[in-house]
Amino acid sequence: MLKHKKTILLILVSIFLLAGCDTTNVIQGSHTSLWDQYLIYPFSLLILFIGNTWLHQSIGFSIMLVTIGVRILLAPLNVLQYKNQLNTKRIQPQLQKLKEKYTAKDPEIQQQYQREMMELLKENGANPIMGCLPLLIQLPVFSIVYYAIRRIDEISSSSFLWLDLGHADPYFILPIVAALATYLQSRIMQSDLEGMNQSYGRLSQILSPIMVLSFGLFSPSGLVLYWITGSLFMILQSLVLKKFFKEKLMLKVK
């Protein structure tokens, strides 16, 4: 169910961004909005400073570098999420038995089922909230990047490879790469969790790339570049976590 909720959340934030208010106004340091003045404007200054100072005025590479920095900051939370998913997978047989025990639709029986299920999750270090927490933290950052690209002239007018960062990719190459990266990320992240909500996992693997492709076709190239870089980082991080925790589990068995 949590994977299904993630998909819904991503759809909602996509709609919010596409319909975002005041996206045409240029942001300046004296902007009265707290969101603009203390989040979007400083973030855009960081992108411009890195691009103009260290990367020979390549704003595209700067967006990629800042994306990696954001992902590194969020890495500890993703590690906790991965451990939480493994703990949840480990107790799946117990959760299934508990579900079979409380099959009646009586409200009191279902409340008892919910209490025992939460106790079982808590005892085994499995927190349902952890499934959505990393995504909820990433959504504001995603929104900040979007508005920084749309409303900061120096970023939106920058070029990178064949791209105009403030406009959609005319050849649709970037959205296709983003969809493929999203699909690969989903497959790798769910490969160790087989048996857990398989129907929702398959739904996520299908809907997420389609949604990313649809969104990428009309989004600024800079935002799609941010998404691709983040997906590639998450793929690498997932492979490292899989190897690390696999070795830890092997040591415990020995």
Q: Residue 46 has what pLDDT? A: 92
DSSP category for residue 163: E
Q: What is the pLDDT along the chain (254 residues), one digit of tens a residue?
A: 444 444 445 554 554 444 444 454 555 555 557 777 778 888 999 999 999 888 888 999 999 999 999 999 989 988 888 888 888 888 888 888 888 887 777 788 888 888 888 888 888 878 877 767 777 778 888 888 888 888 888 898 899 999 999 999 999 999 999 999 999 988 887 766 555 555 556 777 788 899 999 989 999 999 999 999 999 999 999 899 888 876 655 444 44
Q: Residue 196 has what pLDDT? A: 53
Q: How large is the angle between the packed helices 59-90 and 92-101, nearest 10 degrees?
A: 60
* Angle (nearest 5°) at CA 239 between 234 and 244: 120
Q: Residue 102 has what pLDDT? A: 79
Single-letter amino acid, residue 104 = A
Task: Quote the CA–CA distance of 216 and 176 in Å, as a whole number.
Answer: 8
Task: Quote the CA–CA distance of 31 and 60 in Å, as a whole number.
Answer: 25
Single-letter amino acid, residue 139 = L
The helix/strand/coil state of 55 is coil
Task: Quote the CA–CA distance of 231 and 225 in Å, as a whole number.
Answer: 10
